């Protein structure tokens, strides 16, 4: 079983924020794959269904971003799973807007939602890092992630969200490299087969 977590903040005022791209992705997965209706559980909104042949719980913590780990930890303990059964979709300022990487473990890169999850279940969960770009100065980061996506971002955001939903079964079976390749192709990239050999990725990270 997989617990697929999307990070964000609850409420309409945050719905289109960069920080809420995890919620956006889970909503698209939910709609595309015929999951059960959303219901309140584990301090969040959750739904159950299948991704390919894999049983999956979708989980949107309603604790606000900085306390996301309370929700994730409660769900993981209930199902008697380890952190390797948890995959978290979140915004990433250290990736250019429109880029995506899948990584297992590692640091938190200043992301309070990830830090909270690591505090509750440890760091060895899978992260799907959706690039939202860096504003350029550290003091501008808070405002950047809590602002809505710019209109120009729709050119990559909408196809990326659809591609995440359409290829979520690859995540469920642990094929992070295949998932990233599909996302790259959906956004007009060439995919792994056409690219020059890349440098060896850092431990726990798969390259496009």
User: CB neighbours (10 Å) of residue 96?
Assistant: 12
Distant-in-sequence, close-in-space partners of 179: CB < 8 Å, separation ≥ 6: 102, 128, 167, 170, 171
Q: Which of 19, 33, 120, 144 is an active site residue?
A: 19
Residue 120 falls in the annotated catalytic set: no
Helix, strand, coil in percent for the chain, rounding step 5: 40, 20, 35
How far apart CA 178 and CA 97 sit, in angstroms, is 20
Per the DSSP assignment, residues forming a β-bridge with 91 are 130
Which residues are designated catalytic? 19
């Amino acid at each position: 079983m997989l617990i697929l977590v999307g990070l964000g903040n609850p409420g309409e005022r945050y719905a289109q924020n960069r920080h809420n791209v995890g919620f956006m992705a889970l909503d698209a997965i939910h709609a595309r794959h015929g999951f059960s209706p959303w219901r309140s559980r584990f301090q969040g909104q959750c739904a159950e269904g299948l991704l390919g042949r894999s049983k999956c719980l979708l989980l949107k913590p309603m604790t606000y971003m900085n306390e996301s780990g309370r929700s994730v930890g409660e769900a993981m303990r209930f199902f008697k799973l380890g952190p390797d059964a948890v995959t978290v979709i979140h915004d990433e300022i250290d990736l250019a807007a429109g880029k995506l990487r899948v990584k297992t473990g590692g640091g938190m890169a200043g992301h309070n939602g990830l830090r909270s999850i690591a505090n509750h279940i440890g760091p060895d969960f899978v992260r799907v890092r959706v690039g939202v770009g860096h504003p350029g100065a550290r003091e501008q980061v808070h405002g950047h992630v809590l602002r809505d996506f710019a209109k120009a971002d729709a050119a990559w955001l909408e196809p990326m969200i659809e591609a995440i939903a359409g290829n979520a079964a690859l995540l469920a079976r642990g094929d992070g490299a295949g998932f990233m390749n599909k996302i790259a192709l959906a956004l007009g990239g060439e995919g792994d087969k056409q690219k020059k050999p890349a440098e060896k990725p850092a431990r726990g990270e798969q390259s496009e």
